[in-house]
Amino acid sequence: MLRRKKCISAAMHGTTTVGRQGRIVIPAELRSDLGLGEGDVVHVALEGRRIVIEPPRDAGAGLRGILLASSDGRSLVEELLAERAAEAARDSE
């Protein structure tokens, strides 16, 4: 007998209704799969005509990916430290 491994994928979806004050309820199975509970904070973004709701830990990973892609392999930290050292050298003259 094959056991199906439960995984999060783009195929997972649910339908919900917009309630008073624009509130929506994330379907229970999706909340469970994402480990979301009452009081948890989520990041909400508009991507084209889609509303994307994600846990902050996932949003942070996405932001890190965007920054990494825009750095062109440079170390942004090293560049910042070099700029600060140059500013400090100018200020001490």
Residue 58 falls inside a structural domain? yes
Q: What is the pTM of this model?
A: 0.47
* CB-CB contact of 56 with 62 (8 Å): no
Domain count, the chain: 1
For residue 29, the enclosing domain spans: 20-92
Residue 52 falls inside a structural domain? yes
Q: If pLDDT is split at 50, 70 and 90, which confidence band does 10 have?
A: low
Q: Could you tell me the two tokens for 78?
A: 């090293």
Q: What is the pLDDT of residues 38-90, one digit of tens each?
A: 998 888 888 899 998 888 766 666 666 666 666 677 777 888 899 999 999 98
3 pLDDT exceeds 60?
Answer: no
Q: Which residue has the tokens 């996405």?
A: 62
Determine the 3-state secondary structure of 82 from DSSP.
Answer: helix
Mean pLDDT confidence for 13-32: 89
* CB-CB contact of 51 with 44 (8 Å): yes
Chain centre to alpha carbon of residue 53: 9
Amino acid letter, 33: D
